[in-house]
Amino acid sequence: MLGAIEAGGTKFVCAVGDESGNIVELIQIPTTEPEQTMGEVIQFFKRFDLDAIGIGSFGPIDVNPESPTYGYITSTPKMAWRNFPFVQAIKESFAVPVGFNTDVNAAALGEATLGAAKGLDSCLYITVGTGIGAGAIVQGKLLQGLSHPEMGHTFVRRHPIDSYAGKCPYHRDCLEGLAAGPAIEERWGKKAKDLVDQEQVWDMEGYYIAQALMQYILILSPKKIILGGGVMNQKQVFPYIFHHLKEMINDYVSLPELFSYIVSPGLENKAGIIGSLLLAHQALQEK
Ligand code: ADP
Ligand code: ZN
């Protein structure tokens, strides 16, 4: 039996299941203070006999096994969670292998193993929600270097009519600062889900996402691109993404038909938690 935690800024999803993506039980816990949230997480898992636990966490996190702060959440704007030793907190209560990666890397692993990129040794998973983040499988492995990638904070050219300053506390008008849910809301004065029929909104959103995808395609050449997160429930943005991407790529690289290359998650909103079960399975195998 495997345990999984998808740790987000607003809620933690905890599940117990197996490496085929079967979930036996799942709960949601609000993200408050580490002591309280982790107390509930541990209480939930104590009811099961677990062989390993996988964590897909919001970040930035320290994923370098050589680092003294491996397993920590690092420079998050959520002060209570800054420098929180996540893996250590789990290991104090459970003497099992623990897998630890970003929420989006977990989702990429889930999609590459059981979802829209099943059978492929390469894919990119991007979430457009409260923030923008991306995880990647490259040559069959989760992409990791000095640390994990932070593709949501790359810079994009401004849309000619966009005068919005941007919302990223670190870079202002990076991709996340211009195109994540809170940026849409602040720019247009309404939540993204209340702007459904505003073509301009989705054309601009598509323009920014397409630029980011263009760069990811040129650098990583992923075999499949999966777009998840709350904002991507607005399916009308996809044709705008395709339109702008086609124009920008300008036939320089040959890509599959865009509607089959850039898709929604095959595991729907379970990509992250199922991916975290797979992180647990990997940790168990590496033991
Ligand atoms: P999180 O990123 O916090 O894990 P979400 O992926 O749901 O959670 O992202 C939340 C953001 O996405 C908010 O800015 C919200 O306005 C936006 N959002 C959530 N659901 C929708 C929807 N159905 N349509 C458009 N925007 C949405
Ligand atoms: Zn940024």
What are the pLDDT digits (tens) for 210-236?
999 999 999 999 999 999 999 999 999
Any domain includes 111: no
Q: Name which of 75-84, 109-118, 202-211, 223-232 the model is least confident about.
A: 75-84
Per-residue pLDDT of 114-156, as tens digits, reads: 999 999 999 999 999 999 999 999 999 999 999 999 999 999 9
Which of 11, 186, 231, 236 best tests ligand 1's pocket when mutated (most atoms within 8 Å of CB)?
A: 231
State the ligand closest to the CA atom of 133.
1
Q: How far is the CA of 194 from the centre of ligand 2 (A)?
A: 25
Asked if 64 and 157 sit in the same domain, the reply is no
Is the pLDDT confidence value at 196 over 90?
yes
Asked if 257 and 279 sit in the same domain, the reply is no
**Beta bridge pairs of residue 228:** 127
- State which residues form the domain around 10: 2-103+269-286
CA-based nearest residue to 57, from 16, 98, 2: 98
Asked if 121 and 158 sit in the same domain, the reply is yes
Any domain includes 78: yes
Length of the chain: 287
Q: How far is the CA of 65 from the centre of ligand 2 (A)?
A: 26
Asked if 120 and 85 sit in the same domain, the reply is no
Any domain includes 110: no
Asked if 244 and 275 sit in the same domain, the reply is no
Q: Which ligand 1 atom lies nearest to the CA of residue 181?
A: 14
Per-residue pLDDT of 36-58, as tens digits, reads: 999 999 999 999 999 999 999 99
Cα–Cα distance, 120 to 111 (Å, whole number): 9
pLDDT for the residue numbered 194: 98
Per-residue pLDDT of 15-31, as tens digits, reads: 999 999 999 999 999 99
Q: Are strands 11-17 and 2-7 parallel, antiparallel or unpaired?
A: antiparallel
Asked if 122 and 253 sit in the same domain, the reply is yes
Asked if 54 and 194 sit in the same domain, the reply is no
pLDDT for the residue numbered 35: 97
pLDDT for the residue numbered 77: 81
Per-residue confidence band for 271, with pLDDT thresholds at 50, 70 and 90? very high
Any domain includes 196: yes
Q: How far is the CA of 265 from the centre of ligand 1 (A)?
A: 15
Is the pLDDT confidence value at 76 over 90?
no
Q: Are strands 52-57 and 225-228 parallel, antiparallel or unpaired?
A: unpaired
Any domain includes 34: yes
Asked if 63 and 96 sit in the same domain, the reply is yes
CATH number of the structural domain spanning residue 159: 3.30.420.40
Any domain includes 55: yes
- Percent of the chain predicted with pLDDT > 90: 97
Any domain includes 109: no
Alpha helices by DSSP H, listed for the chain, are 34-45, 86-93, 103-114, 175-179, 181-188, 199-220, 237-249, 258-261, 271-286
Asked if 201 and 186 sit in the same domain, the reply is yes
Asked if 70 and 146 sit in the same domain, the reply is no
Alpha helices by DSSP H, listed for 124-188, are 175-179, 181-188
Mean pLDDT of the residues in the chain: 97
Is the pLDDT confidence value at 78 over 90?
no
Any domain includes 145: yes
Q: How far is the CA of 272 from the centre of ligand 1 (A)?
A: 15
Q: What is the mean pLDDT of residues 197-209?
A: 98
46 φ/ψ sector (left φ>0, alpha ψ -120 to 50, else beta): alpha
Asked if 254 and 135 sit in the same domain, the reply is yes
Asked if 258 and 277 sit in the same domain, the reply is no
| Total structural domains within the chain | 2
**Beta bridge pairs of residue 7:** 12, 57
Task: At 14, list the tokens.
Answer: 């905890």
Ligand 1, CB within 6 Å, residue ranges: 8-10, 129-130, 181-182, 191-193, 229-231, 233-234
Q: Which ligand 1 atom lies nearest to the CA of residue 8?
A: 4
